[in-house]
Amino acid sequence: MKSFSSTSFASSEAESLRLAEAAVARHPQALFTDFQWFLYEAQDTVFFTAYSKNVFDKAALTNLVADMVSLAPQLTHGFVGARPGQPFPQHLLDAITSIETVEDFEGYPDKWITRSADIFERDDLPLFRVMVINRAGGADAEGRASLIQVRSSHALLEGSDSALLTRSQSAGHGVMSDKSNKVSLGARIQSNFRAWLMASMYLFIAHVLAPGEKPFGFKTLALKRHRLRVLANRLGVRQRSLYFALVTFALNGAGPEKQMSRKVIGAAYTMLDTKRNDADDDFFRVRALEAKFPVHEDFVDFVRAVDDTVARIEQKDITRFQVMINAMFRTLRGISRVAPFLLTRRFWRFNGKAHVVLTLVPPHRTYGPMTHGVIEPIYCGAYHPGSNLCTFCPGREYVTLNFSMETRHLDNVHRIEELLAEIEARDLPPPPARAVEGAEAA
């Protein structure tokens, strides 16, 4: 059986590991950055699930966990008794892994995806779970013998980690900020002032306006990537603009009665940015952006408006909003130390003015021992209390759309394929003159 490795743990070996263990002994989340703390306290979770040609037994599943932890040593952080970068004893492995047998895969993976609240029920277990279901009769007609699911606190894994692990590459983070790229003193003061103001308002408004618990669910959809690439070229828009438009237009509904908005859909979306600075979070690579998509009755007009919006946002300095958000996380963490009672579950359900959160993760392409036998499509998504999320996960052949949202929106997911077929069949007007990466990779 394979052993765990700490080779990708960002440290100077034994001494740094000793200091890390000492910090975690004082507080389980002592090594978490402010962004990690925010996602942990909110009980945000992420999932990865895919079918495999392989049948798993306990030894094979334990080896899979060993490979994961050697490539993503942050999975050893954040719980009582954690020893950062060190092997898990057998009782922990037994507690975080499971294998079941089913007669068929009908209804999967949707009926297997949950909020993953169980991850937070015990503070003495690692903040992730690895599950497998094997098909009783062996592989089905599509070659699927098992279904694998990894569930984790979002504080430990992000979309780029999932993409790296799928390729059997190191997902160890080290220090993600660039200390040599200094944010100006004026910008830092402004960001900190806005963060204090935003945090104070957020605390007050969240307790007043946060929605109550609503019926919530999960659904997945797999579309051929080539199909979407061709349509994006015909429309003259970026592929991600097409992804965003298909989802928001379909979920908003047809006719005068709209589920999200009749005028403007407020969206938050995320992307990676290699231009780091010293105010960046030391763990996460992702950038958060705000967008407002003007509603149009015709989809072609709508998708081109979305593309124009995305272009305007990304031509600006996309680091400024994230710097302010990071400062707000730091402020809220400080408030939680002196007045933890203010950060109730109602507070965590508040999501501002965003109707939907759209996340495009890096391409998931299987390679190496981690994903040997894995079959596309690959499903990857997230959950945040009170937020309507759609995660786009591109592979070689498929793009999966992974929904975590109110059931009233899930009822409209079927409209995405109907809308796609309708637009493909139309004689589309030529795109207006614009500098657009129509054939852009997702």
* Separation between Cα atoms, residue 195 and residue 173, nearest integer Å: 26
- In this structure, what is the dihedral angle of CA atoms 368, 370, 372, 377, given to the nearest 10 degrees? -110
* Separation between Cα atoms, residue 45 and residue 152, nearest integer Å: 6
Question: pTM score, two decimals?
Answer: 0.87
Q: Which residue has the higher pLDDT, 53 or 319?
A: 53
| Average predicted confidence (pLDDT) for the chain | 85
* Separation between Cα atoms, residue 395 and residue 254, nearest integer Å: 30
Tell me the pLDDT band of 386, cut-offs 50, 70 and 90. confident
Q: Is CATH 3.10.270.10 correct for 14-157?
A: no
Within 10 Å of residue 174's Cβ, how many Cβ atoms? 11
Residue 300: alpha-carbon gap to chain centroid: 28
* Separation between Cα atoms, residue 375 and residue 395, nearest integer Å: 10
Give the tens place of pLDDT for each residue, 76-98.
999 999 988 888 999 999 999 99
Give the tens place of pLDDT for each residue, 415-428.
999 999 999 999 88
Q: Is residue 119 exposed (0-12), middle (13-18) or buried (19+ Cβ within 10 Å)?
A: buried
CATH architecture of 185-425: 2-Layer Sandwich (3.30)
Amino acid symbol at 272: L
Q: Report the range of poorest mean pLDDT among 179-183, 212-216, 357-361.
A: 179-183
pLDDT the model gives residue 196:
72
What is the token pair recorded at 259?
């589920």
Tell me the pLDDT band of 268, cut-offs 50, 70 and 90. confident
Q: Is a pLDDT exceeding 80 seen at residue 324?
A: no
Q: Is a pLDDT exceeding 80 seen at residue 366?
A: yes
- Domain 14-157 and domain 185-425 have a common topology: yes
Domain boundaries, the chain: 14-157, 185-425
